[in-house]
Amino acid sequence: MEQLKTEKICFHCHDQIQDSVLYLDGHSFCCNGCKQVYQLLSEHALGSYYEQDINAGIRPNNIPEEAFAILDDPELRKRFIDFQEQQIIRITLHLPQIHCASCIYLLEHLHRLNDGIIRSSIHFPKRTATITVNTDRIKLSKVAVLLTKIGYEPDFKSIDKSATTFDKRLILQLGVAGFAFGSIMLWSFPEYLGIDKTYAGIRNLSSYLSFAVSIPVLLFSASDYFKSAIGALKIKTLNLDIPIAIGILALYIRSCVAIFTHEGPGYMDSFAAFIFFLLIGKWFQGKTYQWLSFERDFRSYFPVAVIKNTGNDSVLCPIEELKIGDRIAIRNEEIIPCDSILLSEKATIDYSFVSGESDWIEKKKGDFIYAGGKSYGETIELAVSKTTERSSLTQLWNERHSKHTELAFQTRQDRISKYFIAAVISIAVISSLVWAFIDPVQIPEIITSVLIVACPCALALSVPFVYGNILRVLGKNGFYLRNTAIIERIQRCNYIVFDKTGTLTEQDHKHIYFEGETLSFQETEILFAMTKHAVHPYAKAIHTSLKRIQNEAFPDSPVEIPGKGIVFGKYKLGSTDFTGAESSSDNESVVFFAHENKIIGKFVFRSSLRSNLEKLIPELAQNYQLAVVSGDKPKDYDVLKTIFPKKTTFLFEQQPLQKKEFVDHLQETGNYVLMIGDGLNDAGALNSAFVGIALSEDLVRFTPASDAILKAQHLSLLAQYFRFVRDGKKFLKICFAFSICYNLTGIGFAVSGALTPFVATVLMPLSSITVVSLATFLTVRKKFPPITE
Amino acid sequence: MGMIYIMLIVSLCLAVFFLGIFLWAAKSGQYDDDYSPSVRMLFEDEKKSNHNNPENDGTTNSEVRQ
């Protein structure tokens, strides 16, 4: 049995083999594509591809070569290529399928597959390949075709070349601060051990060195805190960077005074350490998933260029350069890039990505076609009636978060800073009043001491470490947040809106049952042959649901009529009109099977709900109000009603704009909405929701712009993820309490006039280290149950 | 005690030297990709295909059949 099981898995892509098995070299393959990749690799001595990682292979997609024609046009390709010197071109391609060591191995040995490829190197975190090509030997479009053939389809649309610049600056700042921190600490060591005035020469030299080293820290490493504080003051708000900036300045000025009055190195060590720790916090928080794209808009979904017919000629034209009235040609399975009018006799359009509706729509000459539909069948000609930017759906996707929700939301850190500043100022005032009676000369000293120790270093580290760890723990469990600010947003939400198709239900049509006369053996055979090469998803689903009994040869070959059905001799399979069936209820998806215009029966498609929803929904309902909005017909209402609580709002047959308006309406009435969706039809709603979560089957496929991406298999854990995120508030409070304790201890020293550089040097790292380890301990021990697929 | 002065200067020079190396490495993008170099160094330089290398063929097949 065991052996049988292993044989059923494709050697290349490790998928379960469904029906026909192909064999080569004693390995089994699920499809011809996988077999060809294997063949290609073993012919070019790249067999060790399979040894680098167990899950190496990717099943290749079928992409028409013309899709890459843009790479051969010297003008249009300019924005993709990095460098060109006569026939040598270097290009950086985003290959979202890169996932393991084997991918690096294969893609860095591309030169063995074609000698026109000179060099290729992978940037793993960004999932890009930089390829140097000799275009005399191989055309760029052929390189893209080759990549697609071995499973790595280039995604031209979402290369963001500026992504790393910010990070790099932070690393440089961190380096400078670390250097200064280490050096000053070393030079201050005699100071800690109690060096006295007899060695004034050494003390002065080390003080001046400390001063020299501290200048770049102040001007370069700490500059962002000053900018942020000034920025906040300008718009008359308070943030935590204000007390930080005040503390930094107090430390620095006090130390400079100490150095130039030959008092010793002052607090320079604390100053450098302080900046160093703050920057570490910033760096830790700044963890991003470079390979995931949270910012995709319609552009990454549409083709880069389409064929424009100008008189007798046809040229490739980038979609942003299309003008009203242009005539464009759209080939089979291409996406219509702008609102337009059909010039061809008829067209079959699949709007499933836009509206969530899975049925294909038939259009006639002169009909208006919205952007975003996928055309099936023969090449169609269209006249552009609105440019892409102004097409009705793209406009919807272009709108960002409304300003209202953006401004009204202040992070917890910033809200706390108000009290913090007030407390620090009042402590400084009170202690100086008290000291006015004891020893008025000491007052400036006391005030600077208070400002120094009140500097909220540990407080400023709590948020990066608590939220940064939460971000990491969730990321390990298939829930990727765009940044740590999203955590506070999720904590605020009280209303969850679900999309139905693809979110609550699975995308493939697994639940099919047949109603009508029992199918005879021959009819089953006919259906099997009929649907074998079909394109329509329903026909494909019927094909996989049938059990093959015997391989019979038929005289006719099936003819698929896009958008209608399949004709096969005297048999017909397809829609109501096509087969001449009496129309059934609109609330279900059916395909009729007919023989000589007599209906034999119908296939009914039930979308299957994702697993464990019946447990997840009541869990969520305890804390949130729920709603379901769907672009589809209300066919699954009965099932959904059983698992959702009574007060859930159900909306069906919603257009993308209506979904967005529903979310907007909820937010206007004071709710904070968390929207979960998967397709472009949800893009508008995801954008206007307070938090938008995009559900993705495999992270590679398109996800609309969102705040977070959730792996579809992990949906059942959503309630637990949210609880963990809400727990973050509690963790943060514990860390805040600890850091305030340290601040109070320091203030105790400061108001009694006992603060020395040594006390500051011990207190500050100690508080930072406790808070960091506490934050890590609280968050990292969280374990989520494993997902069984 | 004169030694201390030299040591102070030497320590500063060493630290500046390492800072320079760090800044250069960070600027030239050596910290950008922390995964692929670790994999890349383990690649065999030249390996024969499964056809020409019966030993390799045998192991891969037996793994699949087990």
Give the CA distances from residue A781 to residues A264, A483, A770, B15, in Å, rounded to whole numbers and listed in that order.
45, 21, 17, 38
Q: With an 8 Å Cβ cutoff, are A179 and B15 in contact?
A: yes
Cα(A539)–Cα(A544) distance, rounded to whole angstroms?
A: 9
Residue A554 has pLDDT above 80, yes or no: no
Which residue has better confidence, A106 or B58? A106
Of A26, A105, A171, the CB nearest to B31: A171
Show the 3-state SS of A295-351. CCCHHHCCCCEEEEEECCEEEEEEHHHCCCCCEEEECCCCECCCCEEECCCEEEEEC
Residue A566 has pLDDT above 90, yes or no: no
Cα(B52)–Cα(B48) distance, rounded to whole angstroms?
A: 6
Q: Are strands A117-123 and A128-134 parallel, antiparallel or unpaired?
A: antiparallel
Range with the lowest mean pLDDT among A6-20, A24-38, A422-436? A6-20
Q: Residue A512 — pLDDT band, cuts 50, 70, 90?
A: confident
- Sign of the C-alpha dihedral computed for residues A290, A292, A293 and A294 taken in this order: negative
The position carrying tokens 């005074």 is A257
Residue-level pLDDT at B52: 43
| Residues in chain B within 8 Å Cβ distance of A172 | 23, 26-27
Of A26, A44, A168, the CB nearest to B61: A26
Which residue has better confidence, A538 or B59? A538
Q: With an 8 Å Cβ cutoff, are A42 and B15 in contact?
A: no
Range with the lowest mean pLDDT among A32-36, A52-56, B17-21? A52-56
| Residues in chain A within 8 Å Cβ distance of B51 | 25, 42
- Comparing alpha-carbon positions, the chain A residue that sits nearest to B7 is A187
Cα(B9)–Cα(A307) distance, rounded to whole angstroms?
A: 68
Structure tokens at A696: 């993705």
Of A11, A45, A183, the CB nearest to B12: A183
Structure tokens at A721: 């993820």
A102-137 tens-digit pLDDT: 888 888 888 888 888 888 888 888 788 889 998 888
| Residues in chain A within 8 Å Cβ distance of B13 | none
Residue B65 has pLDDT above 50, yes or no: no
pTM value?
Answer: 0.78
- Sign of the C-alpha dihedral computed for residues A631, A633, A637 and A640 taken in this order: negative
- CA of residue A132 relative to chain centroid, distance: 29
Inter-residue contact A184 to A140 (CB < 8 Å): no
Q: With an 8 Å Cβ cutoff, are B27 and A168 in contact?
A: yes
- In single-letter form, the type of residue at position A469 comes to N
Helix ranges (H only) for A25-93 are 32-43, 49-52
Q: With an 8 Å Cβ cutoff, are B11 and A172 in contact?
A: no
- CA of residue A314 relative to chain centroid, distance: 37
Interfacial residues of A (vs B; Cβ cutoff 8 Å):
3, 6-7, 11, 25-27, 42-48, 50-52, 101, 104-105, 108, 121-126, 164, 168, 171-172, 175-176, 179, 182-183, 186-187, 199, 201-202, 205-206, 209, 213
Q: Residue A406 — pLDDT band, cuts 50, 70, 90?
A: very low
Interface with A, mutate which of B18, B33, B65 (most A CBs under 10 A)? B33
Average the pLDDT over A389-399 and give the result: 66
Cα(A430)–Cα(A449) distance, rounded to whole angstroms?
A: 14
Report the SS3 class of residue A573: strand
Where is A497: in which H helix or E strand?
strand A495-499
Residue-level pLDDT at A405: 47
Conformation bin of residue A372: beta by default, left when phi > 0, alpha when psi is -120 to 50: left
Structure tokens at A725: 């995120």
Residue A608 has pLDDT above 80, yes or no: no
Cα(B46)–Cα(A676) distance, rounded to whole angstroms?
A: 49
Residue-level pLDDT at A356: 58
Backbone phi, psi, residue B47, to 5°: -135, 135
Average the pLDDT over A534-556 and give the result: 68
Cα(A491)–Cα(A728) distance, rounded to whole angstroms?
A: 9
Of B4, B27, B43, the CB nearest to A202: B4
Give the number of A-B residue pairs with CB atoms closer than 8 Å.
105
Which residues on neighbouring strands pair with residue A516, listed in sequence order? A601
Report the SS3 class of residue A28: strand
Which residue has better confidence, A195 or A420? A420
Q: With an 8 Å Cβ cutoff, are B15 and A183 in contact?
A: yes
Q: With an 8 Å Cβ cutoff, are A11 and B57 in contact?
A: no
CA nearest to A520, candidates A531, A528, A512: A528
Which residue has better confidence, B17 or A313? B17
Range with the lowest mean pLDDT among A427-441, A552-566, A634-648? A552-566
Residue A147 has pLDDT above 60, yes or no: yes
Q: With an 8 Å Cβ cutoff, are B16 and A179 in contact?
A: yes
Portion 3-62 of B in contact with A at CB < 8 A: 4-5, 8, 11-12, 15-16, 18-19, 22-23, 26-27, 29, 31-36, 39-40, 42-44, 46-53, 56-57, 60-61
A304-324 tens-digit pLDDT: 778 888 877 778 887 778 888
Cα three-residue angle A197-A201-A202, rounded to 5 degrees: 90
CA nearest to A143, candidates A111, A183, A187: A111
